[in-house]
Amino acid sequence: MWTLIDSPVGPVRIVAHDEAVTAVEFTGAVPEDTSPRSSVRTAQRRTATREIGERDDDHPVLSEAARQLREYFAGRRQEFDLPLDPGGTDFQRRVWDELRRIGYGRTASYGELAARLGMPRGASRAVGAANGRNPIGIVIPCHRVVGVSGSLSGYAGGVERKQLLLRLEQGSLF
């Protein structure tokens, strides 16, 4: 089952199964960013590879997730308290758990995450690959991971969305 909310970064679909959130996905175009640093205006979509079922805006897990996401976008929530089931491999789940330890308004590089996981320096690519497979965006904050120089490298929802989410968390979006 799923529901859809509007947000400052475009429509967001929340998917749940067996009483847990299994995905938070961007479904439409990135709202136009008029900052001089914005260069790509095309929509990027995260494609669901699983059954999502019927829309159910009143399901308790979905309505709670929608409420918490709206609070986040309004600047009134910094952490999420939701039942999550992202699936994934043991390694991916370790990476995703580490993502949740990156504080609101903060960033970490792929290399820093690898080091926190006790991995060698060259493991940043594996961490990046796991980060890119995170199905529960925003709630598991993969947007807080940046390149070693602080660059806004890759994001499944598009670099513009990543930039908007980081700006929101730093209090400069609105």
* Residue 122 CB neighbour total at 10 angstroms: 9
Task: Give the list of residues 6+ apart from residue 133 with CB closer than 8 angstroms, or none.
Answer: 88, 92
Residue pair 153/20 in contact (Cβ under 8 Å)? The answer is no
The catalytic position among 142, 146, 164, 168 is 142
What DSSP designation does 96 have?
Answer: H
Q: Which helix or strand (DSSP H or E) is residue 3 part of?
A: strand 2-5
- Exposure pattern of 64-96 as b/e (b: 16+ CB <10 Å)? bbbebbeebbeeeeeebebebebebeeebebbb
Q: Would residue 142 show up in a list of annotated catalytic residues for this protein?
A: yes
Q: Which helix or strand (DSSP H or E) is residue 26 part of?
A: strand 20-26
Reference 67, options 80, 54, 55; nearest CA is 80
**Would you name the residues annotated as active-site residues?**
142
